[in-house]
């Protein structure tokens, strides 16, 4: 009578193959997740920029100060969104009455087709700075 089933060696080989395939997939997903977080940061910067322009059209001045000046929401200017990677706000801002610099630190660098302004007053400790300015 023949035994039907798998040997221990066959089972270990299948488990090892599944483990290798899943680790390769997870490594690939990490890069895609970082790109998605960067896209969200760029979208958030554009929304903040739109809010600043609406605020300027009503008051004829931009919000003065650093990032903390944007924490207090007003009807014209909502509070800064949270960074997609955590709860801390990682958006950078430096504003004066007639100009501002607004930026975010990106994990994967600038995506193709996206340009960044030169912001001399803002910097990232790690990653690439995406920056917009006015005017």
Q: Which are the contacts of 36, defined by CB distance < 8 A and separation ≥ 6? A: 84
| Banded model confidence at residue 9, pLDDT cuts 50, 70, 90 | very high
pTM of the predicted protein model:
0.77
Which of 130, 124, 92, 90 shows the shortest CA–CA distance to 110?
130
| Banded model confidence at residue 86, pLDDT cuts 50, 70, 90 | confident
Does residue 61 register a pLDDT over 80?
yes
Sequence ranges of the domains in the chain: 8-134
- Tell me what pLDDT residue 109 has: 87
Rounded Cα distance between 111 and 30, Å, is 16
- Tell me what pLDDT residue 1 has: 58
Per-residue tokens: 20? 């290798």
When pLDDT is averaged across residues 25-32 and rounded to a whole number, the result is 82
């Amino acid at each position: 009578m023949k035994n039907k089933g798998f040997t221990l060696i066959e089972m270990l080989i299948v488990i090892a193959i599944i483990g290798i395939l899943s680790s390769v997939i997870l490594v690939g997903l990490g890069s895609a997740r970082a790109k998605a977080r960067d896209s969200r940061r760029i979208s958030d910067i554009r929304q903040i920029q739109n809010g600043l322009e609406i605020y300027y059209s009503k008051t004829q001045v931009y919000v003065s100060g650093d990032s903390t000046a944007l924490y207090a929401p007003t009807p014209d200017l909502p509070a800064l969104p949270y960074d997609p990677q955590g709860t801390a706000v990682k958006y950078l801002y430096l504003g004066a009455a007639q100009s501002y610099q607004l930026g975010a630190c990106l994990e994967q660098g600038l995506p193709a087709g996206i340009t960044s302004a030169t912001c001399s007053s803002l910097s990232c400790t790690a990653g690439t700075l995406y920056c917009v300015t006015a005017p």
